[in-house]
Chains A and B, each alone.
Chain A
Amino acid sequence: MKRASDPIFWALFGAGGMLAALVGPVLIFITGLAVPFGFILPQQTMSYGNMLALAQNPIGKLAILAVISLFLFHGCHRLFHCFHDVGIRSPAAGKFVFFGFATTVTVITAVLLLAIGF
């Protein structure tokens, strides 16, 4: 019974790591550097109207949820083991804190995306 949750978190870790490897750098470049400064891409790319349209589109909602949730499950899995590596060792508490955090934020993101409407 105790082992049953491991493959799920491992799969989410792998999916998140793959997604972060493929689109992480370019997403950070676009949302954090290029658009805020109008460098290559215009600042209005992330205007309220454009981002609302993205968040109201079902595929857009799914993409936003996938990025936030899978990045978190990937990162939390690694941080869980990082804490182990530096000597903070409690597998049960660590799993509860890190995977609980990733799950909670996933639910919050889904609720917010639904609240934004279609």
Chain B
Amino acid sequence: MSRFKPDLKTYTRPIPAGWWWQTPFLLRYMLREWSSLFVVAYALVLLSGVYSLSQGEASYDAWRGVIASPPLVVFHLIALLVLVYHSYTWFKVMPKTTPHIPIDPKVITYGGIAVVAFISVAAVAIVYWVMS
């Protein structure tokens, strides 16, 4: 399970294909890491929007039609859940990924989640206020 291996022709111990099904810990690990698939996919959805925007109004309106289509709505619903999980895990592991600072790990985790909640509500409120 070493994450880094040099390009050497050394012996690699065979690992059973479904190793990550063995414990809930490994399953959560895999879920956290594969959440990146949705982060990448969403970035590409935004890129397609930027491309259509550069091609003019008709092209952009067609893109908006695609975004409102059932497959993309399902994608965004799943992506939303996955990104919420990403936010949660990001701040959950943050006490381990930051240099040693004299702050209680729980404060970092729940503080981060509180900041996400604040930013989310504030962003929707600001867009709502600007548009009304």
A113 / chain B contacts, CB cutoff of 8 Å = 50
The one of B5, B68, B84, B115 in contact with A36, judged by C-beta atoms closer than 8 angstroms, is: B68
For residue A41, CB closer than 8 A to chain B, the reply is yes
**Interface residues of A, count at CB 8 A:** 60
Contact status A32-B7, CB under 8 Å: no
A21 / chain B contacts, CB cutoff of 8 Å = 86-87, 90-91, 112, 116
For residue A12, CB closer than 8 A to chain B, the reply is no
Q: Give the dominant DSSP class at B's interface.
A: helix
For residue B101, CB closer than 8 A to chain A, the reply is no
Q: How many A-B residue pairs have CB under 8 A?
A: 166
Distance in angstroms between the alpha carbons of A79 and B47 in the assembled complex: 19
B108 / chain A contacts, CB cutoff of 8 Å = none
Asked if A33 meets B76 with Cβ closer than 8 Å, knowing A81-B33, A112-B50, the reply is: yes
Q: Give the dominant DSSP class at A's interface.
A: helix
Asked if A20 meets B131 with Cβ closer than 8 Å, knowing A48-B60, A64-B50, A79-B40, the reply is: no
For residue A71, CB closer than 8 A to chain B, the reply is yes
Distance in angstroms between the alpha carbons of A40 and B104 in the assembled complex: 37
Contact status B90-A40, CB under 8 Å: no
Contact status B1-A72, CB under 8 Å: no
Residues of chain B having any CB pair with chain A under 8 Å: 1, 3-7, 12, 15, 17, 20, 30, 33-37, 39-40, 42-47, 49-51, 53-54, 57, 60-61, 64, 67-68, 72-73, 75-77, 79-80, 83-84, 86-87, 90-91, 97, 112, 115-116, 119-120, 123-124, 127-128, 131
